[in-house]
C-alpha cells in the first residue's frame, strides 16, 4: 500500500515563483503531495523558473507594474480556495498581513509578528537589537553623514570594512553581490558610501569579519515552540569575498544553536528564519551577520539532510502536530554548480600549491556532492536555466 504523503491534497498558494526560493516551495511542497498554485511577477518573455516545475499545478503570472493590486484581488476573491497561503518574499509577507488585517482573509499562514519581521529584515535594527540583548555583532557605524565618513578611522574603523544596505527599500531588487561593498581605504569607503547612500540613505558600515560563514535555520510554530532546527557551514561562496554560498555542508554547533535560539525567541518568533554568522579566525567567536526571515538559498541542504523546512512549515501553518525535528545527517554537502565552478576557478587562481589546484578542480566532478537546483524528478527548471544561458550567450 502506498504511504500517504504529508501534504496529500492540501491546496497551497505560494508566491515568488520567479525566484529560486519560490521554486523550492513549489517543488518540495508538491513532492509531499501538496496541490501548489504559484504566483510570479512577470516582466518580459522569460518563463518564471517555478512555472517550469512539474509540481506547479497552476500558474498565476502578474505583470510587475500591477503586482500588488492584482495580488490583493486574488487574496480577497480566491484565497478561500486554498488551505494555506505561503508568501515567500518579505514584501509579500507584509502585504498578506496587511490585507488580512483589512479584509479578514480567514486562511492559514504562519508568519512572524510584524514588528519582529521588520527588525529581522533590517540590518540596522537587527544589529542594534542583537547588541542590546548582549549578542556578538561586528562593530557597526549607523547613520553617518557623508561629510563625516573620513573621520570614522579615528573612531576605530579598520580596513577592509564592509558597507551594507539597511534593507528598507522594497522598490529595487538587488542581486546578493550588489547589496554590499567591501572597501580597503578611506577613499574607497567614501566613494562606495556616497553611491549606496543615493540608492538607499544611510547604509551601515561594519568591520569585516575574516572567517567561515555559518547558519542556524529554525522553524517555530504559532505557539512559538521550536519545531525544527539545522546548522550549516559554507565551504565556498561566490563572489569569494562575500557572496551567497556556492557549496555548503551540514554541521552541528551548540554555540550557533544557543545564540540563534536566544535571538529568535527574544523576538517571540513564529515561522521560518535563518540566522547568519561568521566565525572570526582571530577572536575564535561567532558573530551575527544578519537574519533571513524567509526561505533562504541553501534550503536544499537542510532537505537533503533530513529537515524539510517547507513541508514542516506548512504542517505548522495548518496546526498539525508532529514531533520536533532537531537532529539530522551531518557532513552532507550541496552545491549550486554554476556558481561553484566560478568559486573553484577563483580559488584556483590564488592557490599556489599545484596539488591543491588539482584537488579543487576535481571537486567539480565530486559525485557525493548533491546539487541544489537539479532534481531528477523535476528537470524542467534545469532545462529552462540551460536554454536561458544559451540564449544570452547567443548560442
DSSP 142: -
Strand boundaries in 268-384, DSSP class E: 271-280, 285-292, 333-335, 370-371
Query: Given the C-alpha cell 476573491, which residue does it identify?
Result: 77
Q: Which of 194, 84, 79 is nearest to 144 (CA)?
A: 194
Q: What cell does 377 get?
A: 524528478
Per CATH, the architecture of 139-207 is what? Answer: 2-Layer Sandwich (3.30)
- Name the CATH code of domain 11-109 (choices 3.65.10.10, 3.10.105.10, 3.50.30.40, 3.40.50.80): 3.40.50.80
The predicted structure's pLDDT at residue 382: 87
Q: Which of 63, 124, 129, 74 is nearest to 99 (CA)?
A: 74
The predicted structure's pLDDT at residue 176: 60
The predicted structure's pLDDT at residue 239: 86
Cα separation, 186 vs 160, in Å, equals: 10
Bridging pattern class, strands 35-42 and 11-14? parallel
How many Cα atoms within 13 Å fall on the side-chain side of residue 262? Answer: 15
Name the pTM for this structure. Answer: 0.93
The predicted structure's pLDDT at residue 92: 97
Contact between 16 and 22 under an 8 Å Cβ cutoff? The reply is yes
CATH class, domain 111-136+211-395, is: alpha beta
Residue-by-residue pLDDT tens, the chain, 395 positions: 456 799 999 999 999 999 999 999 999 999 999 999 999 999 877 899 999 999 999 999 999 999 999 999 999 999 889 999 999 999 999 999 999 999 999 999 999 999 999 999 999 999 999 999 999 999 999 998 888 887 887 777 889 999 999 985 555 555 666 778 999 999 999 999 999 999 889 999 999 999 999 999 999 999 999 999 999 999 999 988 778 899 999 999 999 999 999 999 999 999 999 999 999 999 999 999 999 999 999 999 999 999 999 999 999 999 999 999 999 999 999 999 999 999 999 999 999 898 999 999 999 999 999 999 999 999 999 888 777 765 665 65
**Domain extents in the chain:** 11-109, 111-136+211-395, 139-207
Contact between 320 and 339 under an 8 Å Cβ cutoff? The reply is no
Burial 233-264, CB ≥16 within 10 A → b, else e: bbbbbbebebbbbbbbbbbebeebbebbbebb
Helix, strand, or coil here: 248? strand
Query: Given the C-alpha cell 576535481, which residue does it identify?
Result: 362
Amino acid at each position: 500500500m502506498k504511504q500517504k504523503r504529508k501534504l496529500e491534497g492540501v491546496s497551497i498558494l505560494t508566491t515568488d515563483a520567479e525566484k529560486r526560493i519560490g521554486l523550492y516551495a513549489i517543488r518540495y511542497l508538491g513532492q509531499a503531495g501538496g496541490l501548489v498554485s504559484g504566483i510570479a511577477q512577470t516582466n518580459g518573455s522569460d518563463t518564471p523558473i517555478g512555472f517550469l516545475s512539474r509540481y506547479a499545478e497552476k500558474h498565476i503570472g502578474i505583470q510587475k507594474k500591477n503586482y500588488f493590486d492584482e495580488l490583493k484581488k486574488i487574496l480577497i476573491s480566491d484565497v478561500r480556495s486554498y488551505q494555506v497561503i505561503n508568501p515567500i518574499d518579505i514584501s509579500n509577507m507584509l502585504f498578506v498581513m496587511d490585507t488580512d488585517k483589512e479584509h479578514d482573509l480567514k486562511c492559514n499562514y504562519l508568519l512572524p509578528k510584524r514588528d519582529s519581521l521588520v527588525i529581522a529584515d533590517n540590518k540596522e535594527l537587527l544589529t542594534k537589537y542583537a547588541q542590546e540583548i548582549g549578542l556578538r555583532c561586528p562593530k557597526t557605524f549607523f547613520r553617518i553623514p557623508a561629510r563625516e565618513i573620513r573621520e570614522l578611522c579615528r573612531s576605530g574603523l579598520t580596513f577592509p570594512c564592509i558597507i551594507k544596505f539597511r534593507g528598507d527599500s522594497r522598490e529595487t531588487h538587488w542581486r546578493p553581490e550588489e547589496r554590499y561593498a567591501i572597501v580597503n581605504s578611506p577613499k574607497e569607503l567614501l566613494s562606495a558610501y556616497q553611491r549606496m547612500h543615493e540608492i538607499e540613505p544611510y547604509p551601515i558600515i561594519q568591520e569585516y569579519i575574516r572567517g567561515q560563514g555559518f547558519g542556524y535555520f529554525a522553524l517555530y510554530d504559532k505557539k512559538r515552540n521550536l519545531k525544527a532546527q539545522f546548522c550549516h557551514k559554507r565551504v565556498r561562496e561566490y563572489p569569494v569575498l562575500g557572496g551567497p554560498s556556492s557549496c555548503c555542508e551540514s554541521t552541528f554547533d551548540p554555540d550557533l544553536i544557543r545564540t540563534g535560539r536566544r535571538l529568535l525567541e527574544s523576538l517571540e518568533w513564529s515561522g521560518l528564519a535563518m540566522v547568519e554568522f561568521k566565525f572570526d579566525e582571530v577572536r575564535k567567536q561567532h558573530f551575527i551577520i544578519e537574519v533571513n526571515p524567509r526561505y533562504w538559498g541553501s534550503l536544499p541542504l537542510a532537505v537533503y539532510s533530513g529537515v524539510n523546512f517547507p513541508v514542516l512549515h506548512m504542517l505548522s501553518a495548518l496546526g498539525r502536530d508532529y514531533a520536533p525535528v532537531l537532529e539530522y545527517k551531518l557532513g552532507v554537502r550541496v552545491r549550486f554548480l554554476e556558481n561553484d565552478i566560478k568559486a573553484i576557478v577563483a580559488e584556483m587562481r590564488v592557490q599556489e600549491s599545484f596539488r591543491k589546484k588539482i584537488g579543487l578542480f576535481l571537486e567539480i566532478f565530486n559525485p557525493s556532492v548533491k546539487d541544489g537546483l537539479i532534481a531528477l524528478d523535476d528537470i524542467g527548471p534545469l532545462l529552462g536555466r540551460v536554454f536561458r544561458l544559451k540564449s544570452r550567450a547567443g548560442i
